[in-house]
Amino acid sequence: MKIAKDATELVGNTPLVRINRLAAGLPGSIVAKLEFFNPANSVKDRIGVAMIEAAEREGLIDQDSIIVEPTSGNTGIALAMVCAAKGYKCIITMPDSVSKERRAVLRGYGAELVLTPGAEGISGSIKRAEAIVASGPHYFMPQQFTNRANPAIHKRTTAEEIWRDTDGTADILIAGVGTGGTMTGVGEFMKAHKPGFRCVAVEPDASPVLSGGEKGPHGIQGLGAGFV
C-alpha cells in the first residue's frame, strides 16, 4: 500500500505552473512553484520537518522535549504541524501583531502561543524564546535563522525539484526572504549546476536591510526580519 505514515511524509515534490498572463509579451517564461501544496500550506514545511528530524538524528531531542521557536511567519505553523504529527509539545513565540487567523491555525495544531510586543518585532520574540529555553533542560529551539538544516533541505529537495521539473532550463529564482534558507539552498545547488543562474531577493521596501538600508516596521508577515 502507498499510504503516508503521517503528514510529514507528504512534504515536498510540489508542482510548477506557468504564469501566462504576467509573462505575456515577455521574452521568457514565469513559473511558480506551488509550495502551498505542502500539508501546512507553505515552503516552511520543508524546514519544519528537516530541523526536527536533524535534531532527532543528533540526539538533541527525545519524546520529553518541548520545541520552542520564535517566528512571525509560516515556520511556526510548519513546526506545530510536525510536532503534532510526531508527538512533541510546541511553544511558539511571536509578535502580537500577527494575524488572528495565524494564531488560530497554530492553536489548531496544539501549539502554545507566547505573544511579544509587536513594536519589538521578531527580535523580541527571539529574546523571549531564548529565555524560555534557558529556564529548563527539556526545551529545544531549532532556531531557523542559524540552523544548517534550513538551507540544506532546500539544496537537497527544493532545488533538485526545480532542476528536474524544468529540465535545467531555469535561469532566475525570485523569492521573498525571511531566514534566507530557500534562497541560499536553491542558489547553491543551481549555481553549481548552472554558473550563470541568478537569485533575486525580495524584501519589504519599508525595511530594506538586505539592500543596505535601515530596518523599519512593515506589514508583511514572514519577510524582512530586520537583521542579516
Instruction: Answer yes or no: are the C-beta atoms of 29 and 18 closer than 8 Å.
Output: yes
User: What does the pLDDT look like over 27-76, one tens digit per residue?
Assistant: 999 999 999 999 999 999 999 999 999 999 999 999 999 999 999 879 99
162 and 130 housed in the same domain:
no
35 and 64 housed in the same domain:
no
Instruction: Give catalytic residues, as residue numbers.
Output: 44
Residue 189 CA: distances (Å) to CA of 12, 21, 169, 195, 216: 17, 29, 14, 10, 32
Containing structural domain, residue 113: 47-140
User: What does the pLDDT look like over 142-191, one tens digit per residue?
Assistant: 999 999 999 999 999 999 999 999 999 999 999 988 888 999 999 999 99
Asked whether residue 212 is domain-assigned, the answer is no
pTM of the full predicted structure? 0.90
Give the helix/strand (H/E) hosting 91: strand 89-95
36 and 59 housed in the same domain:
no
d(Cα 14, Cα 159) in Å, to the nearest integer?
A: 11
The CATH number that applies at residue 183 is 3.40.50.1100
3-state secondary structure (DSSP) of residue 53: helix
186 and 133 housed in the same domain:
no
